[in-house]
Structure formats: structure tokens, C-alpha cells
Structure 1
């Protein structure tokens, strides 16, 4: 009955909405527990996402809390389905850090993903050779060849969200230095740039290069991702560094990343100028 870390973010949203519905209806945890014939502690764990909530419980609670708006009812059911769903990444991620599964879930659910990358090309726009080279540098001495293959396959599968019938929109700002950093060697670098240029031509993908000459701006100190989420989800900001991964959902904190990204867009090259620079860089390397 315990909730795995792989679905913690999904379950947290569900728990928060159930608590909000309960309080709006004027019920205590004990009232809800008695209605479902459960212990009060179990109900508390549902709302804090310590335990996964059964689908039948969510349906019963929707009625008990007198949630009448169909959109709200559908939202709670959808959150429950997402909290329990075993998607393709869950099956592919036996050797992948479990906390990273929330990131792939956000990628698959987002209406738009905005990314700032100061050192690397983002995972969704990486080639297989580039990904392998990065992983060898980062973890090669700790991985078997089989584990390395699984990690590379996992990252390549993530790109499905960009190739779907209704693909996720992706906006990337990348530092100019990334265009010249030969991770994996010069051949891999040129392949990376050609792939990046090809993807940048797609209508749902925007690639902007931030020229080194532009100096420093807020938000440039580390990579971050800003997920614009559809209902019933909240927008999410994501930051990763050596200390770990952090997901931010508080509206005021997420807004800071939104502003930072908008500020970086102002000083970055336009998509057309960025593509021109990438072409020029490829020509230099050839």
C-alpha cells in the first residue's frame, strides 16, 4: 500500500486536492475515515501522499464531499489515474534514479517545456552518441555496459513526447559555448549540431542561442526547466545541481523562473539567428 517515490509528485497533487475538497465540504479526517470505514491515520496518509489512494476511494470521496462541478470531478479522477498509472518510463527505469521518473512524467504531461541549459544540450534534443558520451563521463566507471545501454535507451524513449500526434511544445535557450564543447569528440559534436538544427526547424520546437558577449543575467547560474502544465496540474519549476533535484510548485517561486526565462529570451538570439549561428558553427567544424 506504500507510495513509491516514482509517483510521489502525482500523488501529492491528488492528496492536496482531496484535502481541499474535504475542508470545503466541512468534514474532518475522522468524518472521511468513518465514511470509508478506514482509520483516521490512513486518511491522513492519503492526503500527504504517504499511501496511494484506491480509485474506488476517490470516487466515493468525490460523492461524499459533494463535488458537483464536473470539471473538478474529472480532475480528481484524472489525478488518481495518473498516480496509479504505470507508463512506459516506469517499465524502462529499473536502473534509473526513481526520483527522475517524476521529471519524465512532467515532460509527458506538459503543454510547454521551457529550458535553460548553460553547459549541455537538453536531453530531449540529444543524439544517442552524445547521450552515451555524457553518461560515460558522468557515471561510466560506476555502470556496467548493460546499465549504460539502458540509460541511453531510456533517454531516447523520452523523445517520444516530441514525436507524438499532438507533440509537446519545447523552448530551449542554450549557451553559445555548448555549440563548441566537444563532448565525445568532434564527430559527435558535429552530429549533435546537425540534429539540433534539424529539430529547431520543427514548428513545436524553438531553439535560441545565448551569445557569450551578452554578459550575465538572472537565471544564468544553473540549468532550470519550467513546465507549463494543463489543468488540473500546477505549473512546475525544476532545478538540478550536484546537491540533487528540486521541484518547485509554489506560485511565487515558479513565477521567478518564468520571469528569468523571459529575461533570457530578451538577450538570446532569435530562432532564425540561432539556426544561422549553428549552421556557421557546423561549417567551421567541417
Structure 2
């Protein structure tokens, strides 16, 4: 039987949990397969994240494993349902790296997004011209990736969530450096600043600026995004990017560390009102 080889975060998370549950019960894959009336190959595909699992099949496995933890069951079943949903991002499946598309699907399903961007305006807030300059001038342009137009279109499509019927609550702390770094010159940055001012007016967007005057701060290791995935932010996931790869952090203790760090950054950042004043001042200087 053929199956989709693309491993998404949801499939990996479900697979890792199913493997842990099986091992905790002392079952080999062969023994578990007999209990579940599944082939060893099928169970292996689920555990390795190579195959999407239907919610009813997942429920059957959890029942057979005797899993009664209501929160765990709901979280896994929610991930399984989300993983089978269609979305605009699937139009980019063959044109962009799987991890990039996977992030957009998680972002689109988030009920709460917390963003720390010390040096660059976050993708959800970028104007088209700013996004194009960032994509064409960053390390992404050095890879064997699809053309710049595709990547720009993808980034702008991600921004749909800010105008959706039920948009996520977005809390963002941007560094003053993200406003002052001249990406494309004064006119580009002025329009980018105006874009930030407009987004800051949305009732579900909280935008704060971390000024240079704050000095040393707990976000010194760089940008990160915390996604509260699913209804009621059932699962918190931290997304981190580097020049060569992106990865997710979802161990509760690690997520708590990032959440605490974000809270501290919000405390030392300018208030929303003072942040708006700073953005307006920088725009007027452009």
C-alpha cells in the first residue's frame, strides 16, 4: 500500500505518542499489530509519521491501549482531525519545502500566536515589497528553492488569518531594530511602518516595541513564535528558525520557558500606546 511520505508536525507528534504508549505497555510492534488488527507495516507508518491516521482509527488504538487521559485523547484526536483538513497551503505542496507548508497549516489552526522578532518584521506583518526584499536578499535565496514570486505569494497568503472570520489572538514584541533596519530604503520602511500601525488597530492584535534602551533582555537568543494550536490552544508549540533549518519545541517545560521569556519581554517592552508613538515617530523620520 502506498502512502504519503511527507512527515508533518502533527503526524510526528501523533506517531511519537503512539510509540511511547505502545512501549509503556511492553508491546512490540508485531504484538501491538495483532491486538489492533493492523499490520506491523501499517503501525510502523503511523509511528514514524509517514501516514496520516483517521480519527476513528486513532480512537480505536487509544481504546485498545487503555488510554483514559481525557486531555491526551482530545489533543491527539484534534491533531488527527486537523491533519486531514484541506487548506490553501496545499496548493504549495509541490513548490515549497514541506516544513514551510507545515508551519503555515499550524499557524492557520492557531487560536493564539505569540511572536518575538528582534531584528526583522514578522512574516504575518510584512508588506509585499518588504517580503520580496527579505526573501530575495536572505539566505533563502541561496538554496535551490522555487522562485521568489511563489515564496512571496505564500507569505502573503499566510496573512489571511489576520482578517479571518475568527482570527487568532496575536501578541507581538518587535525589536526597535526591526523598525530601523533599512530594508529597501526609506520609502519601503515608511510603508512597512504604516502597515504595522494599521495592524495594531485590529482588536485581536497586540503590538509592542522593545526599544534599544531596554538593554540586555531575556530574548537574546533570537526570534521565536509560540503557536497555541487547536481550539482553546490545546497544544502549545514553539517554532524557531535559523539559516539552515526550522524546528519545533513542544516539551512542556521548554514551552513554559519560552512563554515565561515572552511574558518578561512584554513587561520590559513599551506599552501598546508608547509603541505606536515610536512607530509613528520612525515613520515620520523616513
State the shift of 1:85 in Å. 3.2
State the shift of 1:25 in Å. 8.1
- Structure 1 gap ranges (5+): none
1:163 is the counterpart of 2:158 = no
State the shift of 1:185 in Å. 2.0
Contact in 2 for aligned 1:130/1:183 (Cα 8 Å): yes
State the shift of 1:22 in Å. 5.6
Where does residue 150 of structure 1 map in the other structure?
150
What TM-score results when the alignment is normalised by the length of structure 2?
A: 0.86
State the shift of 1:243 in Å. 3.8
State the shift of 1:124 in Å. 0.3
Mapped to 2, the partners of 1:275 and 1:70 lie a distance apart of 43
Contact in 2 for aligned 1:199/1:205 (Cα 8 Å): yes
Where does residue 212 of structure 1 map in the other structure?
212
Where does residue 269 of structure 1 map in the other structure?
270
1:33 is the counterpart of 2:33 = yes
1:252 is the counterpart of 2:253 = yes
Mapped to 1, the partners of 2:164 and 2:189 lie a distance apart of 27
Tell me the number of residue pairs that the alignment of Structure 1 and Structure 2 aligns: 283
Contact in 2 for aligned 1:134/1:184 (Cα 8 Å): no
- Structure 1 window deviating more from structure 2 (128-137 vs 35-44): it is 35-44
Where does residue 82 of structure 2 map in the other structure?
82
Aligned counterparts, 1:1-286, within 5 A: 1-5=2-6, 7-19=7-19, 29-54=29-54, 57-65=57-65, 75-138=75-138, 139-140=140-141, 147-230=147-230, 233-285=234-286
Q: Deviations over 1:104-152 (max 9, x none)?
A: 12211222111111111000001111101111212557689x8211111
What TM-score results when the alignment is normalised by the length of structure 1?
A: 0.86
- Structure 1 window deviating more from structure 2 (19-28 vs 128-137): it is 19-28
Contact in 2 for aligned 1:93/1:154 (Cα 8 Å): no
SS at match of 1:195: helix
Q: Using a 3 Å threshold, how does the CA distance of structure 1 residues 222 and 35 change in structure 2: closer, same or farther?
A: same
Contact in 1 for aligned 2:36/2:64 (Cα 8 Å): no
Contact in 1 for aligned 2:130/2:188 (Cα 8 Å): yes
State the shift of 1:33 in Å. 1.2
- Structure 1 window deviating more from structure 2 (58-67 vs 154-163): it is 58-67
Q: Using a 3 Å threshold, how does the CA distance of structure 1 residues 282 and 242 change in structure 2: closer, same or farther?
A: same
State the shift of 1:61 in Å. 2.9
CA RMSD of aligned residues (A): 2.9
Contact in 2 for aligned 1:174/1:209 (Cα 8 Å): yes
Mapped to 1, the partners of 2:110 and 2:56 lie a distance apart of 27
